[in-house]
Amino acid sequence: MEHTLASEATLEGTSLHTGEKVTLTLKPAPEGHGFKFRRVDLPDKPFIDACVSKVQTVERATTLAEGSVRVHTVEHVLSALVGMGV
């Protein structure tokens, strides 16, 4: 049985590695959707699936990549979601 979030949640803060202001929004998803990251700050707002084939680097942080699109330090949010049974 799969579980999802009950409602949307948004976090804002400062990036650990770049010092830039960042916003993370977690949204409920349908069964079978899996974990996905979306770069809404980029043209076309591309998605990157959270799967091992998308891992580009693991030095100091896990980076997922799809073409030229990157999402950094994903391991923290993914481990929290898995720890909650999502």
| 49 within a domain of the structure (yes/no) | yes
Confidence of residue 41 (pLDDT cuts 50, 70, 90): very high
| 4 within a domain of the structure (yes/no) | no
| 1 within a domain of the structure (yes/no) | no
| 20 within a domain of the structure (yes/no) | yes
Confidence of residue 60 (pLDDT cuts 50, 70, 90): confident
Range of the domain at 21: 9-83
Give the Cβ contact number of residue 62 at 10 Å. Answer: 19
- E-strand ranges in 1-86 read 9-14, 21-26, 36-38, 47-49, 55-57, 63-66, 69-72
Split into its structural domains, the chain has a count of 1
pLDDT at 38 over 90: yes
- The CATH number linked to 53 is 3.30.230.20
Which pLDDT value is given to residue 17? Answer: 82
